[in-house]
Structures are given as structure tokens and as C-alpha cells.
Structure 1
Amino acid sequence: MTERDTMNANAEDTYLRDVGKRLRTLTADQRAAVLDDVRAHFADAADAGRSPEQAAESLGDPAQFTERVRAELGHDAGRTDRMRRVLQWLATGAAVFTAMFVSFVWPGDTLPGLDTQVDQYGFGIVLLNLIPALVAALPLLVPARARTATTVAVAVVLTVLSLAGTTTFHTLTAMLAWAAVVVPVIARRGRPAAGWRITGAALTAVPALLGILGGLVGSWDMEVSSLLWSGGFIAVGALIAVPRAWAGAVVTAAGVAVLVMSTLDLGMLTLGIWWAGGVLFTVGVSHAVAHARPRPPAGE
């Protein structure tokens, strides 16, 4: 190989390497197809007597070229950021809902059916219970460069808060905060792979399996209705294996129903049912946003 051939090969390799790095958010098949097209373009240019520099110039600099490719493939650069914002807003809303439930419905240091926290401590307790909502909203307020670190920090703080006292009901908020961290990372290369969907379906089955196990060891009476409840829970959660946004929407709706039911029928299992509904809601909404149809390129 002559020195000129080496220089040409280096120019082509440099362009391909730069393009490949910028296309890491595409699927492996999409990226391979684009790079094959680029190689073919350089080969055609060489056959026509043009230099690699001229071939690269006709494609545009790597940043312009990859932006054009993403648009042609219908890839929305802001998709994962929208996912994060949706999940953060949901975490904030869940925290507000939880604060209202804990303040006005859930009994304070008394038996169910007696005084609520507001009755015992006054309206100021509501503001205290709303602190997790303020924490959950922080990633929506910080500059873009600090958003990822803040999202992780908020998820950690909410997890700690959900382990303390009546703030254990904020487990739902913590779940959604972690979803805002994890889901955009999973979805960077497109819709989640089958392994992630199966993992999500398995997570939704955990509360039902724990309920069955509790019945078997005698923690509560195992009745036919309990088995039907557990079976229905698992069946609904199994929809997460379906790679469609509607499947996530159905699981989300089931989670909402369970959460509402737990607030209407207070008892010793209320917190467990709340957690179970939170799992359904979090996994369902994560699936729905990750499988939502991407926006078409601007101008279409």
C-alpha cells in the first residue's frame, strides 16, 4: 500500500469512527447499515477518482451527517429527555397524592378510623409531608448539565425518606424517581429489548408471589379470593412482555386501581397493597413511555 493509499484509508477510517460514535444511540443494526452505506459512498468516490476528503465533504461533517441520518430514521433526539421529564412529573404528582393521603386519610399515632395527622398536629403536618414532592421536582428545575446527577441524587434521597415512619408510603415516589434514572438509559438505543420487558413482567409478579408465600406460612388466611387476586395481578403484569405502549397503559391503569383501593379500605395490609400498586404503576408507565411512538422529524 502506498503512502497515499494509507492517507486515504486513514481519512475514511477517521470519518467512519466519528460517525459511529455519534450513532451510538441507534440500534446495532441501524448503525451497521449506516456505516455500510458510508463505506460504499467512499468506495464509489474512489472509483470516480475523487479523494476521501471530497467524499466526506459531499456527505457533510460527521455532526451534520449523523443529524440528518437520525431525522431520516425518525429518531427524536429529545425523546429520552421527555421520558425523564414525564417520569419526574409523575413522581412529583405521586408525592403530592401520597402527602394528601397520609395527612388527611391515614391515621396518625392512633388506630384506623380515629384521628388523622391533620387532626392531631394541625395543617403544618401537610407541609412537612409535602417535602418529598419538593425533592422529586428538583430535577425539573436545575440546568440541563446538572440534570442527570440531580435525578440520581433525588432518587437516593427519596429512597431514604421512604424507609422512615409514615413516609414509607412515599415508596411509590421513590420507584418513579428511579424509573426517571433508569428508563431513559435503557431507551437510548430504541425501544427496550425483550430482556428488559421480561424483567419488568417479573417485577410486577413479585407482590403477588409474596402474598401467596405469606398465605402459605400462615401470615394470613389463604382464601380462593386471594388466589384469584394474585393470579389476576400476575396476568396483568405479564402484559409488560408485549412490546406496545398500550400494554403499559393497561398495567398503569391496574396500578392506579390498586392504589385507590388501598386508600378506600384501610387496614393492616394497606401499606403492602400500596406498594404492590406502586410496582404496577411504575413498571406500567415506564413501559408505556419507553414504547411510545417517536415523534416524526420536524417538517413532516
Structure 2
Amino acid sequence: MNAHSLPARAETYLEQLLGALADAPADVRAAALDDVRAHVAEALDSGRTVNEALAGLGPAQTFAAQFREELGLPEEHEADETIGARLLHVTAVVVAVLGGVMNVWLETAARDLSLGVAVLLFIPAVLSALPLVLPAHLRVPVGLANAVVVTAFVVLMIGGVGAFFAPLALQLWVAVIVPWRVSKGLDLSQGLMLRILGAVTVALPALLLVAGMTSGSLGWSLATAAIAAVLIALALGFALGLRFTAWVVAALGVALLIAAFFDPGMLVLGAWWVGGYYLSFGVGSAVAWTHAARPAPRGPAATLEA
């Protein structure tokens, strides 16, 4: 029998197999399909039924898993999760570098800063980069160790340079916890209470601004009112499940961190912490949301043509 002219039951199996291998390279998907077609055609030519032929292969998901294992490919969704985890660690490196630069800038303004001390301030950035270059089996334990070490450093040095590494400690914990929770089924699109909790934390600075302007402790200004309105709008969008709001919150966090360099006043540390929180919350939520929103596998023709 022609290997490309198979019974409908076999074509259904091929479609299921393609769905299970939707994230694999096109040549891998094609090779898997060719193997199944050849196996079924050979079985039919020898007098067996299509059901007997497919029973020898096992369910499509099982066959796909075996095919991945033989070729050394990651499990389904693992590639997406790895990309998300790497993005979280890259964000940690960015926050660490910014924290080092901020401390160097402030310490230089206060007193002469030696080159050796300046170099030490970038050790957290080196630690944050380790999960990006180490073997896969070491990334989680090293990431967890980094989170513990940097958190301890922040607590011990909170009255000095440690204060500006607090956002880094938060981001390191996000880089450990979010991939783990995603692997356990975290789905922001389905978690109403989780979205509401996130919305409240995003809106909290806006509520404080409104309270300050209302009580008179904070001078009213159009700019302040606009900032409060934007934050409240973002919080509502997050609560409603608008995924793009996570990236907007992350971008706002970056803007606040950068703005702190240009306005080193009494509120610089507060702006730094809020910016770091927004960045960690935004990127962490975006990674969780992106994984949850992964599109369903398409049919064989559409997938092969992609």
C-alpha cells in the first residue's frame, strides 16, 4: 500500500502526533510522520489491521515522548518554559547591573570610591548571570542559592548599599518561583483572585498618591493625577486579564529605575523599590501568562506548512 495513502484512523493518529510535536522543528515532525506512515503501510501490507499497527506504536503522546527522548529533544512545553526562565534570569542581571551602577554613583558622590569596592558592587550581577551559563541541572539550585545569598546581603546591609539590591533579591526569587509554579499549572488567565491580588499591588502606589493629594500632605498636580490614573487603569486591565498590561507594568518599572538616576532626592529609594517591584511583577506575570496562553496545536497540514 502507498505510505501516503492511509486509512482515516491512521491519519487521525498522525494528526494527534503532530499536535504532540507542535513545538518541535519541522524536520523532526516530518521524520516522525514518515516513520509512522512506513510502519502502518508495512503492517497493512503484511495483513495486519490499522488498529493492530497503531497499537504497536502506543498512544500518539507516548510515541511523541519516545521520539523526543531518542533525539534528545526537550519535553513538550519545556522549551517555552526554558525561554521564560532565561528571560527572568536576564531581567535579574539587568536589575543587578543597575543596582551596582546606582551604588557606585551614590558612593562616588558621597566619598572617594576605590576601584576594588566598585568591582565588588557588581558581584551580584555575576551571580545573577550564572544560571544563564551553567548546565541545565544546576540552574535551579544555583538560582535558589543566589536568591538566598542576595536576600541575606540585603538584610544585613539594608542601611547602606544593600537597600539598592532589594529589587534584585525580589527578582531572583521570581526567577526561581515563577517557572516552578508554571510547571505546576499556574494560569493567570484562570486565577481571578490571583489577578485581583496583582491588580491591588499595582494600584497601591496610585491609591497612596490619591490619598496624599486628598489629605493635603501631597501637593496636587496634573502630572501626579495622571500617574495615578495610569496606574489604576493598568490595575483594572490586569484584573480583567489583559495580558499586555503585564509588559506595560514591566516597562513602567524600568522607567522608574532609570528615572531614579536623574532625581536622586529623598524619595529615590522609594522610587527604586517601586520600579524594581513593577519590573519583577510585570515580567514574572508576562512569563506565566505567555505559558498559559500557548496556542493549541494545529492540524497536520497547517503545522507542516508553518
Q: Structure 1 length normalisation: TM-score?
A: 0.65
Quick one: distance in 1 between partners of 2:66 and 2:253?
39
Quick one: distance in 2 between partners of 1:236 and 1:264?
25
Aligned residue among 215, 220, 223 for 2:219:
223
Q: Which residue of 2 aligns with 1:147?
A: 139
Q: Which residue of 1 aligns with 2:56?
A: 57
Please tell me the root mean square deviation across aligned C-alpha atoms, in Å. Answer: 3.6
Aligned residue among 174, 195, 202 for 2:169:
174
Q: Which residue of 2 aligns with 1:100?
A: 101
Write the letter of the residue equivalent to 2:96. A
Q: Which residue of 2 aligns with 1:37?
A: none
Listed as ranges, the matches of 1:153-232 within 5 Å are 153-163=145-155, 164=157, 165-188=160-183, 189=185, 191-192=187-188, 193-194=190-191, 195-209=193-207, 215=212, 221-225=217-221, 226=224, 229-232=227-230
Quick one: distance in 1 between partners of 2:244 and 2:92?
21
Write the letter of the residue equivalent to 1:167. G
Gap change, CA 1:154 and 1:208, over 3 Å in 2: farther
Question: Is 1:282 aligned to residue 277 of structure 2?
Answer: no
Quick one: distance in 2 between partners of 1:244 and 1:270?
30
Gap change, CA 1:269 and 1:181, over 3 Å in 2: same
Write the letter of the residue equivalent to 2:109. T
Quick one: distance in 2 between partners of 1:190 and 1:146?
23
Question: Is 1:257 aligned to residue 255 of structure 2?
Answer: yes
Residue identity over aligned pairs, in percent, reads: 30
- Contact 1:245/1:290, CA 8 A, preserved across alignment: no
Offset from partner CA, 1:235-259 (integer Å, 9 cap, x none): 3344333434422121122212222
- Contact 2:102/2:261, CA 8 A, preserved across alignment: yes
Quick one: distance in 2 between partners of 1:275 and 1:169?
8
Q: Which residue of 2 aligns with 1:236?
A: 234
Gap change, CA 1:196 and 1:66, over 3 Å in 2: farther
Secondary structure at the aligned position of 1:240 is classed as: helix
Write the letter of the residue equivalent to 1:179. V
- Contact 2:209/2:218, CA 8 A, preserved across alignment: no
Quick one: distance in 1 between partners of 2:294 and 2:145?
28
Question: Is 1:86 aligned to residue 87 of structure 2?
Answer: yes
- Deviation of 1:59 after TM superposition, in Å, equals 2.6
- Deviation of 1:185 after TM superposition, in Å, equals 2.5
Quick one: distance in 1 between partners of 2:166 and 2:207?
19
Question: Is 1:131 aligned to residue 131 of structure 2?
Answer: no
Gap change, CA 1:212 and 1:153, over 3 Å in 2: farther
Gap change, CA 1:143 and 1:156, over 3 Å in 2: same
Q: Which residue of 1 aligns with 2:12?
A: none
Q: Tell me, which stretches of 5 or more residues in structure 1 are unaligned?
A: 1-22, 24-49, 69-74, 109-114
Secondary structure at the aligned position of 1:78 is classed as: helix
Quick one: distance in 2 between partners of 1:200 and 1:90?
19
Offset from partner CA, 1:130-184 (integer Å, 9 cap, x none): 0111121222233222222222221122222233122211122122211111221
Write the letter of the residue equivalent to 1:259. L
Moved more, 289-298 or 181-190: 289-298
- Deviation of 1:207 after TM superposition, in Å, equals 3.8
Write the letter of the residue equivalent to 1:270. V
The total of aligned residue pairs comes to 236
Offset from partner CA, 1:13-65 (integer Å, 9 cap, x none): xxxxxxxxxx9xxxxxxxxxxxxxxxxxxxxxxxxxx9x99875343486425
Write the letter of the residue equivalent to 2:151. T
Quick one: distance in 2 between partners of 1:198 and 1:158?
29
Gap change, CA 1:294 and 1:276, over 3 Å in 2: same
Quick one: distance in 2 between partners of 1:181 and 1:152?
6
Quick one: distance in 1 between partners of 2:227 and 2:61?
55
Gap change, CA 1:186 and 1:234, over 3 Å in 2: farther
Write the letter of the residue equivalent to 2:147. A
Question: Is 1:116 aligned to residue 109 of structure 2?
Answer: yes
